[in-house]
Amino acid sequence: MEIDITDFFKNVDTWDFSGSHATHGPGAGKRTWNAAKGQAAETPLLDTPEALDAMRKWAKESGGWNKEEIAAWSDVEVNALFIQLVTSDMREAGLEGQYFENIDWDAYETKAENGQISGALYRDARTGRIYYYLGN
């Protein structure tokens, strides 16, 4: 499923949503999770039942959570996990903190094709919108 993340990508400082002890210091997990939940409550990116289900399916297939744990998540928690997923992929690709207009999407695609980054983010050249592919 393709999720339009253009406004989030262009307008939100994502640093607080994902990181480790090495990048964000002690207690990073709790702080980044709480920040992601706050953002998810304010502006959910997964705004349809289908999009929420796609994220739950992704979580199940990742093996990190079981069916019961996933079923217990609120829509805000599902969105927060998605925000952390998007943010970590942005950071991995070197896109976090860049001005939208300065991103070299051809270089990004080359890195994705070479297996250097996940490649789940993409820009529709026709519309300029940014999407995240949530699936296998």
Q: What is the pLDDT along the chain (136 residues), one digit of tens a residue?
A: 999 999 999 889 899 999 889 989 999 999 999 999 999 999 999 999 999 999 999 999 999 999 999 999 999 999 999 999 999 999 988 887 766 778 889 999 999 999 999 899 999 999 999 999 998 6
Give the number of domains in the chain: 1
Model confidence, pTM: 0.92
Q: Which domain does 62 fall in, by range?
A: 2-133
Please report where in the chains the tokens 């990048």 appear, as a residue.
Answer: 23
Q: Residue 74's CB: how many other CB atoms inside 10 A?
A: 11
- Rounded to a whole number of angstroms, the CA Rg of the chain reads 15
